[in-house]
Every structure is written in structure tokens, then in C-alpha cells.
Amino acid sequence: MKHAIIWLAVMAVSPVPGSLSAQEGPVTVAEASGFTATSLHADVMEFVAELQRLSPLVRVESMGTSTEGRTIPLLVIGDPVPRSPIDLRYDDRAVVYIQANIHAGEVEGKEAAQMLARDLVLGRTADYFDKLIILIAPIFNTDGNEKISPDNRRNQHGPEQGVGIRYNGQNLDLNRDGMKLETPEARGLVDVLIRWDPVFFLDAHTHNGSYHQEPVTWTWGLNPNGDSG
């Protein structure tokens, strides 16, 4: 498995004295398998439930239910963790939103997002919590994720046991539904953006299936009615 976005781990800093270490928390399927396998939806939900059990710093919302009936979890992490966006009315902390697995064949973000959530929740990274509320959607495309097969994305190196597919349960590409909003996943995302109003949005992909001149790619706004500046 190529660690296309393993740089997310730089957000995890040393825990403060007396806090739980990351090693005491749950382990992802990727870690447990030596990075030869990736998580199913049930694995992610179990991982999230264990974080909730271990720490009061995480609260879990649902972004909605997929076409095939799966919950799309959203982790809200903070110290203290807000009960809703209303709690932030007089709070100076900024909200950041991290989303993974919009294309369920691109699994690195899903695993890294779980590891990041664990390090934040159990590592008590106080410097971040002074300034940030961190939202993490580790498995955005829940339905596509369950169709794991080694025949998917065969041009990439691993994981050996396969990955999911690009499309959701409606056979739609969630990364092309930002205008039509035909999918429950995209509608759930818009609801999160409206309610929480994050200042930063990271959407994790894997770029070993496409080729670019530069090693780091950035897509600017493409609205034809936008300011060209």
C-alpha cells in the first residue's frame, strides 16, 4: 500500500505527561495486517466506538445513511468537545474538516484518518485543542468501500487483499456530485459545511492512479462565474 497521504501523521505530536499513548488505543486493520489489508465499514465503526469509550474528547455524529443503509460517521474532536456548532458561537477555536475515502479504492486516507483521530484523542495534543475543533469523516463512501477486491485498481501496488471501488451505492462518483446533490453522502457533506463552517477542508485522495507533471497537485476553483483573480 502506498502511503500517499501519510503526511497527515505530522499532525500528531508527543502526548503530554499522564495521557494515554496511541499504543493503548485501537489498532487499524491496515496496521494489524502489516498494511496488506484495509478496513471494512464495520471495522471503522468499531474503531470509532473504541475511541468514544476511551476518551471524552470525541463525539460522533452521523452525516447521513448511505443508499445501502450504512451510517456515515463524523468524529467531532475537541477539548472540550462541542455538543453542536451553537456551542462555538463565543468560542475562538477554528473548525477544520478532514474527509477520506470519497473514492473507496483510494484507501490510504481512510487508514491515516483513523490513526490521526486516535493520536489526537489519546495523545491529548493540547496545543491543537487550544485552537482547533477537528472534524474527521474517515469513511465517506461507505458503500463503495464494502466492494473490496484485489481486482480493483490493479495498477497500484497493494494492499494485497484489495480495495473498494470509486462509486457509491447508486453507482455515482461522489466527487462529481457537488452541484447536483443526488447522493445522501454529498447532501450530508453540504450539511456539515453549512452547520460547522470549517476554515479548512482536506479531502484525501490517492494520486498513484493519475499522472501529473509535479509531485504535489492543487486544484483551484473552477466556477466559470467566479472572479478570475
Higher pLDDT, 198 or 209: 198
Fill in the DSSP letter of residue 66: -
Using 50, 70 and 90 to split pLDDT, how confident is the model at 155? confident
CA separation for the pair 209, 73 (Å, rounded): 27
pLDDT above 90 as % of the chain: 71
pLDDT tens for each residue of 11-35: 433 343 333 444 578 999 999 999 9
- Which grid cell sits at 111? 487508514
How far does the chain reach from its first CA to its final CA, in angstroms?
Answer: 39
Nearest CA to 11 out of 171, 139, 173, 132 is that of: 132
pLDDT of 103 strictly over 70: yes
pLDDT of 46 strictly over 50: yes
Q: Mean pLDDT throughout 202-206?
A: 91
CA separation for the pair 37, 212 (Å, rounded): 27
CA separation for the pair 134, 228 (Å, rounded): 31
Highest mean pLDDT among 22-36, 125-139, 166-180: 166-180
**What is the predicted pLDDT for the residue at 208?**
66
pLDDT of 45 strictly over 70: yes
pLDDT of 185 strictly over 90: yes
The contacts of residue 171 (CB under 8 Å, 6+ apart) are none
Using 50, 70 and 90 to split pLDDT, how confident is the model at 152? very high
